[in-house]
Amino acid sequence: MEQKPLIKFFESYMASESLFLDKKTLQSTYTPKGVPHRDKEIKQLAEILAPTLKLERPSNIFLYGKTGTGKTLSAKYTTQQIKQLAETKNLPIKVIYLNCKLKKIADTEYRLIAQLTREFGKEIPATGLPTDEVYKIFFSTIDKEKQLILLVLDEIDQLVKKTGDEILYNLTRINEDLKNSQVSIIGISNSLTFVSDLDPRVKSSLSEEELVFPPYNALQIKDILKARASQAFKNGVLEQGLLEKCAAYAAREHGDARRALELLRVAAEIAERENEKQVKIKHIDEADRKIEDDRVLEVVKAQPKQFQATLYAIISISEKRKGSIITGEAYDFYKNISIRLGLPPLTQRRISDIISEQDMLGIINTKVISKGRYGRTKEISLAIPSSVLPKIKKILGEGLDLA
DNA sequence: GTCAATTCACATGAAAGAGACCACGGTCTAGTG
DNA sequence: CTAGACCGTGGTCTCTTTCATGTGAATTGACGA
């Protein structure tokens, strides 16, 4: 590429005015000052947690609701307030927020406890110690001084799914062994059915109180968008009816406010790149597509080789002919590929799991069907829009070097 | 024609192994005074 | 004498393999009308 045009491009980029005033407010990491349309939930939460300020242990709480319904935000908001108040009054209250889904941080029993201990300023090796040893360290660390600990465990269902409910049992029981401190757990879960699968003992002690977060409706999402947009954008940058459209898109997907915000942000970015003075409705459509594409692309890129090879096999077959693919067929194809690549082929058992995992990631769709006399298998079809297929194939080709 | 038994091609579960990490304690080695 | 290098042991974690059991309906075959 010539260099001069590039400089010109940068110059014109700098000269062009940004549509954003403050982009941060649209990003998912941003914590707004209030949580609109969640007054009722926050009030309940506050009532339950209030005893904390008298240094009495509040009940354990369980928050449910789908993604983007403000669970995390409400919990963070409420606990922050408590923390602030505690600080000004010099109360020994500690709030710990942990997202159990974060890989390598809190997705196993060992790591969760280790991370908790770290929150109290004690270093714990990433691995190497027996789990009960870590428990002991954790115990002695928090019990050293008198304090009340509010433990917020986000996406707790992921944790339990991976490691079983033993941790929760231990954590809920922990108060019996502590002399000075007290721990109270706030569990947050996306899955509504989560609690019913728990061990009854855990269930009763963990969900002393429950709070359900219903999805936002389109009107509420619009409100939320409006509030954030006023901070994020300059005046008059948004086309009339844009927020409504954005809200409608998100409401269609079970009222996910996070998605609505992302949609708005990406749409604005697209508009900016196209040198538009305004974010238009067509940009929303484009953003919707882009988000989905990017998500798939990211997911695919992050997969280990064996996953990529499996996906490659499935894509190749689906290109060759119409109709759905069955496990055996995909496996045969996969085996060829992996041999060609010098990868040790995995067992069918494993590939079966890999296919299921990719189903969960939304890259492919599978359905277990029984073809009577001809057995029982998974029917596989691609969930990727055909527009991204070439890109994906390219990434897979690179990832597997050679194709 | 009807109905239960059969049978296929996997799904799904459980358990256990391999290999990468890691901490800890003991032993050995080389540098220092 | 001591700090650091270098084991061996025992632990976790992830990815797999092995072994076992489960399963839904097309097909089969016996049976009765």
- Contact partners, residue A2, CB within 8 Å, separation at least 6: none
Contact positions of strand B to protein Cβ (< 7 A)? 6-14, 20-24
To the nearest whole percent, how much of chain A has pLDDT over 70? 96
Nearest nucleotide by C1' position to the A133 CA atom: C11
The single-letter code of the amino acid at A347 is T
User: Of residues 127 to 156 in chain A, which lie within 7 A of strand C by their beta carbon?
Assistant: 127-131
Q: Where are the beta strands (DSSP E) in A195-296?
A: 209-213
Q: What angle do CA A303, A308, A313 make, to 5 degrees?
A: 155
Q: Is the CB of A67 under 7 A from strand B?
A: no
Is the CB of residue A125 inside 7 Å of nucleic acid strand C? no
Assign A120 a pLDDT band (cuts: 50, 70, 90). confident
User: Which residues in window 310-339 of A are less than 7 A from strand C by Cβ?
Assistant: none
**Chain C nucleotides with an atom closer than 7 Å to a protein C-beta:** 10-20, 22-28
The reported pLDDT for the residue numbered A1 is 53
The 10s digit of each residue's pLDDT in A241-279 is 888 888 888 888 777 888 888 888 888 888 888 877 788
pLDDT digits (tens, 9 = 90+) for A269-322: 888 888 777 888 888 888 888 988 888 888 888 888 899 999 999 999 998 887
pLDDT (0 to 100) of residue A3: 63
Cα gap A79→A35, rounded to integer Å:
13
pLDDT at A365: 92
Report how far apart the first and last C-alpha atoms of chain A are (Å, whole number): 28
